[in-house]
Amino acid sequence: MAEAAETLDGWYCLHDFRTINWTEWKAFSSAEKQEAIAELNQLFSDWDLNHQVHEGSYGIYSILGQKADFAFMLLRPTMEELSTIETQFNKSKFAEITEPAYSFVSVVELSNYLGSKNGDPYAHPLVQKRLKPTLPDMGYFCFYPMDKKRQYGDNWYMLPMEERKNLMRSHGQIGRSYAGTITQIITGSVGLDDWEWGVTLFANDPLQFKKIVYEMRFDEASARFGEFGPFYVGLHQSPDAFIQSLSL
Ligand code: 76R
């Protein structure tokens, strides 16, 4: 058996994609709209408070294309908290006129391919910062799930550790050349959802998503072993902007 990679695991993560049934929203009376907006404001201000005291984080994104209209990315120390938030939202007036589009359950993950073996890796402040990330205030968001191949001949999970380390080193080098341009959060979902990882990217220029993903396609870790699910791209929205967009 190949040596298993060890993971460092941080906050749990829910990516929740929904569409809006505009016909139903427009049919709401103004009292119903007000009720829906007041509830949303309350929910968002709870999320914001949690984010300020660094007990979790959240992002609201307006999704382009027909796969979804908006997405919430929510991070919390426990699954229970995520479950509570999901139920709170589902019971809200606004949720009555939304429909599920896609969701992804995972946990923020760092692997041991490139880290040093000395001491407790969790003790490192930089590791803590990456395992409990504050979602960046960058203009654009990109999410997609992925797997590493398990096919005869190209089975990532049967490669020796040394070989996987070399491949991840090259992958990390490409990644680091986008420092300051792309912020990435890798969340692990083996045993939690249908794919092995969620890749969430943030940038101020959406073209950089295309650049990094394309460049990585030529790198062996992705070229040979990467398998990809659906891509979602969107714009970061403040709670106020999200609510404003309902009345446009
Ligand atoms: O965590 C680190 O910074 C160390 C280096 C590193 C690891 C171990 C790293 C760096 N990644 C790691 C692991 Mn990554 N990453 C992706 C994608 O579209 C594609 O082809 C792949 C999707 C992108 C865009 C990306 C970006 N990475 C992983 C893993 C887990 C693999 C495993 O355990 O087998 C996956 C699935 C994955 C996928 N990666 C970086 C980036 C970027 C931008 C970096 C540099 C981060 C930085 O140092 O700032």
Tens of pLDDT, residues 45-62: 999 999 999 999 999 999
Please give the distance, rounded to the nearest whole angstrom, from the Cα atom of residue 54 to the centre of ligand 1.
24
Could you read off the pLDDT of 177-188 as tens digits, one per residue?
A: 999 999 999 999
Annotated ligand binding at 69? The verdict is no
* Structure confidence at residue 248 (pLDDT): 64
In the block, which residue shows the tokens 């045993």? 191
Q: Does residue 2 lie in a domain region?
A: no
Q: Does residue 3 lie in a domain region?
A: no
Residues classed as catalytic: 144
Q: In CATH, what number is assigned to the domain containing residue 40? A: 3.30.70.1030
Annotated ligand binding at 147? The verdict is yes
In the block, which residue shows the tokens 């929205």? 237
Please give the distance, rounded to the nearest whole angstrom, from the Cα atom of residue 216 to the centre of ligand 1.
10
Indicate if the pLDDT at residue 25 is higher than 70: yes
> Residue whose CA is closest, atom 44 of ligand 1?
175
In the block, which residue shows the tokens 């792309």? 182
Q: What are the φ/ψ torsions at residue 219 (nearest 5 degrees)?
A: -95, 140
Q: What residues make up the domain containing 174?
A: 8-245
**53 three-state secondary structure:** coil
The full 3-state SS of the chain, as one line of letters, equals: CCCCCCEEEEEEEEEEEEEECHHHHHHCCHHHHHHHHHHHHHHHHHHHHHHHCCCCEEEEEEECCCCCCEEEEEEECCHHHHHHHHHHHHHCCHHHHEEEEEEEEEEEEEECCCCCCCCCHHHCHHHHHHHCCCCCCCCEEEEEEEEECEECCEEHHHCCHHHHHHHHHHHHHHHHCCCCCEEEEEEECCCCCCCCEEEEEEECCCHHHHHHHHHHHCCHHHHCCEEECCCEEEEEECHHHHHHHHCC
**Of the residues 124, 177, 199, which should be mutated to test ligand 1's pocket, given the most ligand atoms within 8 Å of the CB?**
199
Q: Does residue 176 lie in a domain region?
A: yes
Indicate if the pLDDT at residue 116 is higher than 70: yes
Q: Does residue 46 lie in a domain region?
A: yes
Do residues 128 and 111 lie in contact, with contact meaning Cβ atoms separated by under 8 Å? no
Q: Does residue 113 lie in a domain region?
A: yes
Please give the distance, rounded to the nearest whole angstrom, from the Cα atom of residue 184 to the centre of ligand 1.
8
Residues 95-119: b if buried by 16+ CB within 10 A, e if exposed: bebbeebbebbbbbbbbbbeeeeee
* Structure confidence at residue 115 (pLDDT): 79
Q: Mean per-residue pLDDT for 83-106?
A: 98
Annotated ligand binding at 148? The verdict is yes
Q: What are the φ/ψ torsions at residue 211 (nearest 5 degrees)?
A: -60, -50
Q: Does residue 1 lie in a domain region?
A: no
Domain count, the chain: 1
Ligand 1 binding pocket (C-beta < 6 A) is: 5, 110-111, 113-114, 146, 148, 168, 171-172, 175-176, 178-179, 182, 184, 186, 197, 199, 201, 212-213, 216, 222, 226
Q: Does residue 87 lie in a domain region?
A: yes
Beta-carbon contacts of 180 under 8 Å, excluding residues fewer than 6 positions away, are none
Q: Does residue 75 lie in a domain region?
A: yes
pTM, rounded to two decimals: 0.96
